[in-house]
Amino acid sequence: MNSSYTGLLLGLLFAIMLDYLLIVVNFQSWLDPFIMISALPAALAGIASILFITYHSKRPGAHGNNHVHGRGHGERYSGRQLLHGADFARQ
């Protein structure tokens, strides 16, 4: 178990280092990628806390939001039926 966790940790550190070096090449700066990567855990914690506070799920269509994606639910916009996919292409 310890060797598995050690391998997992080394793989994670290697992936972070590889991402850092890729961002260094793209931005041509050594400091900006460090700031971006170090801000990721705080951003993920903020996203998770807002989802928890607002009782939303990460799954699309959860909590009755299917009316946005489906058709035939009687949605109206300016007196016209909403157009989806192939219906829009026919117009």
Per-residue pLDDT reduced to its tens digit, 78-90: 545 555 555 555 5
- Could you tell me the pLDDT band of residue 15, with boundaries at 50, 70 and 90? very high
Domain count, the chain: 1
Q: Is residue 51 part of a domain?
A: yes
Q: Is residue 42 part of a domain?
A: yes
- pLDDT reading at 77 higher than 80: no
> What is the CB-side half-sphere exposure of residue 29 using CA atoms within 13 A?
7
Residue with tokens 């971006």: 36
Q: β-strand 76-77 against 80-81: which pairing, if any?
A: antiparallel
Higher-confidence residue: 62 or 4? 4
Q: Is residue 90 part of a domain?
A: no
User: What is the span of the domain harbouring residue 45?
Assistant: 1-58
Over residues 20-71, the pLDDT tens digits come to: 999 999 999 999 999 999 999 999 999 999 988 987 766 665 555 444 544 5
- pLDDT reading at 1 higher than 90: yes
Q: Is residue 36 part of a domain?
A: yes
* Beta-bridge partner residues of 68: none
- Could you tell me the pLDDT band of residue 8, with boundaries at 50, 70 and 90? very high
For residues 46 and 40, give the distance between their C-alpha atoms in angstroms, rounded to a whole number. 10
Q: Is residue 68 part of a domain?
A: no
Q: Is residue 66 part of a domain?
A: no
Q: Is residue 88 part of a domain?
A: no
The three-state DSSP-derived secondary structure of 2-39 is HHHHHHHHHHHHHHHHHHHHHHHHHHCCCHHHHHHHHH
- Could you tell me the pLDDT band of residue 14, with boundaries at 50, 70 and 90? very high
Q: Is residue 8 part of a domain?
A: yes
